[in-house]
Amino acid sequence: MTPLLCTGLKVRKLDPRPFLLGLAAASNAGSAATLIGNPQNILIGQAGALGFWSYFAQAVAPAIAALALSFGCIAFIWRSSLAAADDGAPLEPVAFDRVQVGICAIALLALLVLFATPLPREISALLVAACLIVSRTLPTRQLFGEIDLPLLILFAALFVVNDAFARTGFPEEAVRMLAAHGLLPDRVSFLVPISLFLSNTIGNVPAVVMILKVWQGIPEGVLVGLAILSTLAGNLFLVGSLANLIVAERASAQGVRLTFRDHAKAGVPITVLSMIFAGLWLWFGGFMHL
């Protein structure tokens, strides 16, 4: 999406930055709605044996609210950059591939049906992906050529660093100390700041991996809260989530520089407001204590 946005917006003489921020913020916010939206939600869903549709019913409201807040904050803060310069030049129409859209729609429908079966979610996703790969519509070599190997290495390295930190014994000791003082993040007022801090220091995926490893017997409501809050916390700063880094890196390759300050201008209010809404939703919904 990032290269397409950059190319199209440059043609229309629009500043790509607010649109790229919207892409990153919407990716984070929308991914909170399902257990396959992002890596940390997949891990949480597996650890707690959470139901796909039951989680969706609990998380869809905070996700939609975060999407609306992302739109509102970016539209207001970047309003001076959203006006297109009208040079009178007509824009070329974009070709609409009905076959490709139809195949994607069928694949999505099949995936949703599989999620309602006892088949593991990761197997369902792999089956649908395999069917798309073996289809003759796009060359397999072209599909594999789109894989971002440096990003995969970065992602793997995060787990290596996280495991090394966990082996120091400090996380387990910290959990024991918090439990002794009644300060485990099993309440909204504790989980919100912890999610914000960890997601924007070591990253939301490594943070969730570490929490699941050192904290045994996490209640289901807390797992739901952890999935929602750790995802929304990724909108705070540019380093808060892999989606942000992917957008910034791909934009840089297109000659668009997305700085830490650019992201924080909208990211901070988006995150604060969406975390407040999500925290109140978890509290009033009875999923977690305040």
pLDDT digits (tens, 9 = 90+) for 64-74: 999 999 999 99
CA distance 66 to 275: 8
- Tell me what pLDDT residue 137 has: 67
Residue 261's SS3 state is helix
- Tell me what pLDDT residue 84 has: 62
CA distance 34 to 51: 10
- Tell me what pLDDT residue 90 has: 66
- Tell me what pLDDT residue 159 has: 76
- Tell me what pLDDT residue 89 has: 62
| Residue type, position 11, single letter | V
Supply the Cα-derived Rg of the chain in whole angstroms: 20
Q: What contacts 24+ positions apart, CB below 8 Å, involve 149-158?
A: 151/242, 151/245, 151/246, 151/249, 154/242, 154/245, 155/205, 155/242, 158/202, 158/203, 158/205, 158/206
- Please tell me the number of Cα atoms within 13 Å of 76 on its side-chain side: 11
CA distances from 212 to 155, 205, 222, 223, 253 (A): 18, 11, 11, 9, 36
- Tell me what pLDDT residue 138 has: 67
- Tell me what pLDDT residue 263 has: 93
Question: What parts of the chain have a pLDDT lower than 50?
Answer: none
- Tell me what pLDDT residue 162 has: 75
Q: Looking up tokens 């009178």, which residue turns up?
A: 88
At 171, list the tokens: 């996380």
Contact yes or no for 236/200 (Cβ under 8 A): yes
**Tens-place pLDDT, residues 257-270:** 999 999 999 999 99
